[in-house]
Structures are given as C-alpha cells and as structure tokens.
Amino acid sequence: MSTEHPLGVDFGGSGIKGAPVDLDRGDFAADRLRIETPQPSTPEAVAEVLAELVGSFDGDSSPVGVTVPGVVRGGVVSTAANIDSSWIGVDAAELFSHATGRPVSAVNDADAAGLAESRYGAARGQRGLVIVTTLGTGIGSALLLDGVLVPNSELGHIEIDGRVGEKWAANSAREAEDLSWGDWAARLTTYYRTLERLLVPDLFVVGGGVSKHADKFLPMVDIPTPIIPALLRNKAGIIGAALHATGSA
C-alpha cells in the first residue's frame, strides 16, 4: 500500500491506529489500519508496533505524525498520566524516526484533535479562543486562538473542589459510577464553568468517543458559552497528527 500523503498515527490505550491523510479534504486517503497496543506500552514496544504499522504504507518517505497521551515538548514526553511511566523523558520523535526510518513528529493527542477540528471540523473558521475537550479515560484539552494552537494545556488536571477534574468528570467516571446522563451533565456543567472563569472562551468543542451521544448530555450542560460536539470524532487524532507532521498546522 503506498501513498503520497502524510501519515497520521493515533497512539491510544487499546489500539494504535494509522492512515494516510489527504490534507486538502481533511480525510483519510486510504483505509485506516489498527494494531493492538502492546501491554505494557513501553516506548520500545510501541515503537516496534509503530514500525509495523508504518511499514504497511510503503513506497514513499512522506512525514509521519504520531499522537502521544501526554505533554510533548520538542518531541520529548514530559508526563505520563495515562500511559506507562517509562515514557517520561523519552524523545518520542527521535525514537519513532529511528524505528520507522521516516521523519516523525510527536504531538499531544488532544492537541492533534484540536488542530483537526479547527482546520476541518466543528471549529473551522472560528475566531477567538476555542477550547476543544476530549472526554474519555481522562479529559484532554486543546486551546486554539484564531486557529493557532497553544500546546499542552492539560485542562483535565485542574482541581475542582479538591478533586482532579478528569477523575471526577471524565467519561470513565460516568461509566465507573454508573451515572445517569443528567448526573454526568451536572458534573460537566461544574467543570466547564470552571474553565469559563479561568479563560473565558468563545466556544467549547466536545470530542472523544462519547461525543457520538452528545444529544443525550450536551443540552443539559448549563453554561453561557456555546458548546458543540466535535465533527471528526475518532478520525481527529490521525488527521491532526498528519497535519502537525507537515508543519502546516
């Protein structure tokens, strides 16, 4: 399988998914491939799987962008809240480039989703401050000012009434505590009101897998700022990673 398009790879807790991306259309240029995330998901194990996945798209040397569920500064992973702690201090971009033989950039997973939603999705053309949140195991966040990313915001880790926000308001908390949509929406209202007080955004975009059920909870989130579901959903990480890899984000 070959492509002239940049390759986006989304490194998640259960799967590592990749596809070439047509940046003119903001969509996959070929079918997505998925390989199970190794356990434990150490840097060396993930790099081996990444090399296998990238090798499935042979025939060119186009850049590769990879999402990482942690703070990424200059390609180096600084935090590991939801991945193996051995990632801290690892130059993911260098590791992946060596493993694949291709130029690779690394970007925070929520930042990648934010880039994609800003360029092609729910926040396309939006001026001012946009906060994209991904509700899943934790809460990822991306800040975009007039479409320009302010990286590594990590707003899921803010403290609310003595609790880490994502431990209390993420979709994983809803599932673990068997919360009703209404009870969860009340928690999200508190969470988003806290962000409003800190940053006064012009728009919230809500992503993550649960966004496909947005009609069940977003209308009950009681905040003055417009809040809308993401459009790209599980494609956002791959598309944003490819966009980041080209340096055109």
Interatomic CA distance for residues 86 and 125, integer angstroms: 39
- pLDDT for 82 equals 75
Judged on CB neighbours under 10 Å (0-12, 13-18, 19+), 193 is middle
Q: What are the phi and psi torsion angles at 202 (to 5°)? A: -90, -20
C-alpha–C-alpha distance, residues 241 and 246, integer Å: 9
**Where do the domains of the chain lie?**
7-111+235-246, 124-230
Helix, strand, coil in percent for the chain, rounding step 5? 40, 25, 35
Average pLDDT, the chain: 94
**Using CB atoms within 10 A of its CB, is residue 172 exposed (0-12), middle (13-18) or buried (19+)?**
middle
> How many of the other CB atoms lie within 10 Å of CB of 101?
11
pLDDT at 58: 67
Residue 128 half-sphere exposure toward CB, CA atoms < 13 A:
11
Write down the pLDDT at residue 12.
87
The dihedrals phi and psi of 235, each to the nearest 5 degrees, come to -90, -15
CATH of domain 7-111+235-246: 3.30.420.40
| pLDDT tens, position by position, 9-31 | 999 888 999 999 999 999 999 99
Q: Residue 249: its pLDDT value, please?
A: 66
| Alpha-carbon span 193 to 70, nearest angstrom | 24
Q: What confidence score (pLDDT) does residue 81 get?
A: 76
Cα 248 to Cα 211: distance, rounded to the nearest angstrom: 27
What is the per-residue pLDDT across 157-177, written as a single tens digit (0 to 9) for each? 999 999 999 999 999 999 999
For residues 159 and 164, what is the distance between their CA atoms, to the nearest angstrom? 5
Query: Are the C-beta atoms of residues 203 and 228 closer than 8 Å to each other?
Result: yes
Kind of pairing between the strands at 104-108 and 64-68: parallel
pLDDT per residue rounded down to tens, the chain (249 residues): 445 799 999 998 889 999 999 999 999 999 999 999 999 999 999 999 999 999 998 657 789 999 999 999 999 999 987 788 999 999 999 999 999 999 999 999 999 999 999 999 999 999 999 999 999 989 999 999 999 999 999 999 999 999 999 999 999 999 999 999 999 999 999 999 999 999 999 999 999 999 999 999 999 999 999 999 999 988 999 999 999 999 866
Q: What's residue 116's pLDDT?
A: 98
Question: 7-11 and 129-135 as β-strands: parallel, antiparallel, unpaired?
Answer: unpaired
Q: Which two tokens stand for residue 45?
A: 């194990």
124-230: same fold as 7-111+235-246? yes
The class that CATH gives domain 124-230 is alpha beta
Residue 121, burial from CB neighbour count under 10 angstroms (0-12, 13-18, 19+): buried
